[in-house]
Amino acid sequence: MKFQDTRNKVQTIFNIQTSNIKIFENWKLKFVICLYLVFCFLIIFTSGCAKTVTQLVTYGDEMVVEVTLRGNVDIGANRYFLIVSSDPAYKVPLPAPDYLEDAPELIEPGDTPSIGSVEAYYTNFYNTWSGYVILDPSGFTMVKGPFVVGTTPTREVLSSLTEISSILTFSFRLGRMFATVPDQVYFDFVTVPWPDGNIKIPTDHLPSSNNYILKISGSLVTIDDETDLDLEASEDIVNCRVEIQ
């Protein structure tokens, strides 16, 4: 009888230990699963943070322009225009033979054309511009749109021409040109002979009117133009470099 009691006690102790081992194993399994889930969460969270950091973009507010001509600039005989727009379908007067018969000149909004009606210039060109920079004997002047018949646009002197050379350099604040700075700034550079009392038809511009630059700081666009020996050297564009800072 004593032996039987001892055996039962041993069996009971064994069962208790076995049960404790199972409980420990279950707890250990749950602990491992929890650690795994925490590890997965950390990977997802840190990966998400990394993506967020790489997507940060810095926008610039200054457009820096450098134009190289085949010869020295001549502000007595010519005018030089940088035309900018937020509209990819904007238009500028083009050199012969691509000019419009009813609006062939490149003159400033508010000037009286020698050929064509005032309305034709606004309809075909000025209404599509956000603004422009003109170089004339007074220096570089920024003119901001919108351009409306019968109104005088806002003008802002940027700088004077300090040196006569083949390279023109100027800059302006995008926030001063655009009410809302677009993601892409479209532009063209045009040279125009400026005879007193005569028609003012462009002679050269960039190879395409569909030039644009992103407003992201550090964006850089360089455009080469073919040399045209039939033009005066002061009218012939060789290169245009635009940067956003």
The one-digit pLDDT tens for each residue of the chain (245 residues) are: 544 454 554 454 445 445 544 554 555 556 556 555 655 555 555 555 544 455 689 999 999 999 999 999 999 999 999 999 999 999 999 999 999 999 999 999 999 999 999 999 999 999 999 999 999 999 999 999 999 999 888 899 999 999 999 999 999 999 999 999 999 999 999 999 999 989 999 999 999 878 999 999 999 999 999 999 999 999 999 999 999 99
Kindly write down the DSSP assignment for every residue of the chain, as one continuous string: -HHHHHHHHHHHHHHHHHHHHHHHHHHHHHHHHHHHHHHHHHHHHHHHHHHHHHT--PBP-EEEEEEEESS---TTTEEEEEEEES-TT------TTSSBTTB-----TTSPPSSS-HHHHHHHTGGG-SEEEEEETTEEEEEE----TT-PPEEEEEE-----SSEEEEEEEHHHH-SS--SEEEEEEEEEE--TTS-----EE-S-S-EEEESBTT-EEEEE----TTS-TTT-EEEEEEEE-
Q: Where are the domains of the chain?
A: 1-56, 62-244
